[in-house]
Amino acid sequence: MIRTWTVDRPDEGVLGWLVVDTLRDGLAFGGTRFAPDLTQAEVTGLARCMTWKLAAHGLPTGGAKAGLAVDPTDPDLPRKLAVFADGLREPLTHCAVIGKDLGATNEMLDAVYRRLGLAQLHLVRSRTPACPPRLRDLPGYRTAMTGQGIAWATRALLGPAALTGARVAIQGAGVVGIGAARRLEELGATTVAISDAAGGRLVSGGVRWTDLADAAPQGRLGRLPGATDAAREAILHAPCDILVLAARSHSVDARLSAGIQARTVVEGANFGLTEDARVALHARGVTVLPDVLANSAAAAMTTRQLAAGGQLDDTSLWTAIEDAITRAVHRARGRVRDVGGTLRAASLHAAEAAGAWSVP
């Protein structure tokens, strides 16, 4: 069964979790989310989603997720991180490796492992001493990894020609959103709308990803030349061909989905849509490229290297990731063509067939 470790220290103002959904060769990997309204249910769902994503890549490790219910800008965060780390000493010592997710920075993860007196990759180094000590030191670690997977999955779904001149709207101006803009632009698409937590910008003539990165260095949009200000939700309803969801989980419900004009919605974020939104979009004939296909590249890069002791070279690693994402999308699309249903359902069917339900 799924294994959950809870750190509940109300006297310290600390509430967090680590959920190991699956183990492979005694190891699980997942990101760490920091958000004041985080719940155990959200962390558990994200851990299962990690397993689903990794299934397309042969499940190099098991899937996990950690999370702390805290504002990442809380001035008391260093103390709370220490309490959180102490509460997760057992799994982080014996079976789980954690990395970054929403709200997290490398410095936060460094603080957790420093508190424990462990290298971030000590579990892998115990098997392969030549493995680097930190995730960001692994060969193949690069910027816009998640965005790369989003672009490859979208290309596999629609075909290369469909991306040339395609108009893209992006919900979310953080690492995933800007990364998606960059990688889709490299394949010929143009970003025409983008939003952050406070509002949005419409750019009918399109905007370069470098200008987006300059305007949103911390995930918050500043001045963007040629852009028209818009409400945050208006970006979801902007005239476009492809809508990329790169914000918080379950951020688009059925009400918001009703105004979506794009014929393809890409879940760059884990669980970007609520279930009722998925049903509503499917009923309208809108194709949803699910997170389990579109949001797997960074996780695949990390877990493939963890399973190989950090010894894979950059070129072969990323070639394998691209091939796996492309095959997974084609396989899911073929199942939808043959038996109906959604790409998500087809992907979960493939994950089950790959043995993704072996739990600790």
**153 and 299 within one domain:** yes
Tell me the average pLDDT across 239-264: 96
Residue that is last in its domain, among 108, 137, 166:
137
Question: Domain range for residue 95?
Answer: 3-137
Tell which wins on pLDDT, 358 or 99: 99
Q: Please report the pLDDT score of residue 312 as a whole number.
A: 96
**Predicted pLDDT at 359:** 39
Q: Which residue has the higher pLDDT, 77 or 224?
A: 77
250 and 312 share a domain?
A: yes
Query: Euclidean distance between the first and final Cα of the chain, in Å?
Result: 6
Looking at the fold, whether 169 and 50 belong to one and the same domain comes out as no
Mean pLDDT of 98-102: 93
Q: Residue 183 — φ and ψ, nearest 5°?
A: -70, -35
Give me the CATH number covering residue 312. Answer: 3.40.50.720
Measure the CA–CA gap between 150 and 244, rounded to whole angstroms: 9
Total Cβ atoms within 10 A of residue 93: 13
Structural domain count, the chain: 2
Kindly report the CA angle at 62 between 56 and 68, in degrees rounded to 5?
115
259 and 185, same domain (yes or no): yes
In a shared domain, residues 71 and 16: yes
**pLDDT: which is higher, 15 or 354:** 15
Count of all residues that appear for the chain in the document: 360
How far, in Å, CA of 36 to CA of 352, rounded? 33
Percentages helix, strand, coil for the chain, rounded to the nearest 5? 45, 20, 35
The stretch 101-124 carries a mean pLDDT of: 96
Q: Do 218 and 277 reside in the same domain of the chain?
A: yes
pLDDT(145) > 60: yes
The answer, yes or no, to whether residue 112 has pLDDT greater than 80, is yes
pLDDT of 69 reads: 98
Residue ranges in the chain assigned as alpha helix (H): 40-55, 77-87, 89-94, 106-116, 122-125, 145-158, 160-163, 175-186, 209-215, 254-257, 275-283, 291-294, 297-307, 314-339, 343-353
Q: Is the pLDDT of residue 143 over 50?
A: yes
* CB contact at 8 A, 29 and 64: yes
Average pLDDT over residues 247-252: 93
pLDDT in the model for residue 357: 54
Residues 155 and 276 reside in one and the same domain? yes
Work out the mean pLDDT of the chain and round it to a whole number: 95
Q: Phi and psi (nearest 5°) for 44?
A: -65, -45
pLDDT band at residue 223, thresholds of 50, 70 and 90? confident
Dihedral sign for Cα 247, 194, 206, 287, please: positive
Q: How does 133-166 read in b/e, with b if 16+ C-beta sit within 10 Å?
A: bbbeebbbbeebbbbbbbbbbbbbbbeeebbeeb
pLDDT at 360 over 50: no
Predicted local confidence at residue 353, as pLDDT = 80
For residue range 263-316, list pLDDT tens digits in order: 999 999 999 999 999 999 999 999 999 999 999 999 999 999 999 999 999 999
Average pLDDT of the residues in 315-319: 96
Assign 241 a pLDDT band (cuts: 50, 70, 90): very high
Residue where a domain terminates, one of 109, 137, 165: 137
Q: How far is CA 298 from CA 70, 221, 265, 268, 348, in A?
A: 24, 24, 20, 12, 19
Interval 155-164 mean pLDDT: 97
Residue 93 belongs to domain with CATH number: 3.40.50.10860
> Looking at the DSSP assignment, which residues form a beta bridge with residue 355?
none
Q: What confidence score (pLDDT) does residue 14 get? A: 98
Tell me which of 1 and 93 has the higher pLDDT: 93
Domain boundary among 137, 161, 194: 137
> What pLDDT, in 10s, does the model give residues 5-32?
999 999 999 999 999 999 999 999 999 9
Torsion, Cα of 94, 99, 102, 108 (10° steps): 90
Q: Are residues 129 and 78 in the same domain?
A: yes
Average pLDDT over residues 253-260: 97
